[in-house]
Amino acid sequence: MELQGLLERTVDGLGYELVSVELSNRGRMLRIFIDKPAGPQGGITVDDCARVSNQLTRVLEVENIDYDRLEVSSPGLDRPLKKEADFVRFAGEQARLTLRVPVAGRRNFTGVMRAVAEGKLQLETDGGLVSLDLANIDKARLVPRIEF
């Protein structure tokens, strides 16, 4: 069975969203990042991580997935944006993007995500509105907004 699909189905079934999966130490360590689906939320708690970890431990054993260590964590305040749905969900938030191919001579952009349509992200930067192809985005993360 394909690991990504197995993890996604299990995490989704528990009512969470699979943000990303990292394999390290030659695939011996699985690091899973989870979030709560869109809507009013208080973020991921230690209890959420423990619940997902316990379920994944059982599922991975049943599916004979060989690993040494499993970590389940929140994606953090600077959550990565990977899927088109992530960009739609966090529209209105500030993000830091790195592109694969430069646009207007730049690969790095920071701005407020305004809209996503037809595979393009409208990003409001200090220099104005920029239209970026989602397929050209190499890395994207939310910029944490901390209010005291």
Confidence of residue 43 (pLDDT cuts 50, 70, 90): confident
What are the respective helix, strand and coil percentages of the chain, to the nearest 5? 25, 40, 35
The domains found in the chain, sorted by start residue, are 3-73 (3.30.300.20), 84-142 (2.30.30.180)
Q: Is 84 left (phi over 0), alpha (psi -120 to 50) or beta?
A: alpha
Task: Write out pLDDT tens, residues 62-113.
Answer: 999 888 999 999 999 899 999 999 999 999 999 999 999 999 899 999 999 9
pTM above threshold 0.85: no
Contact status, residue 52 vs residue 11, Cβ threshold 8 Å: yes
Supply the pLDDT for residue 1.
56
pLDDT at 39 over 80: no
The C-alpha atoms of residue 130 and residue 128 are separated, in whole angstroms, by 6
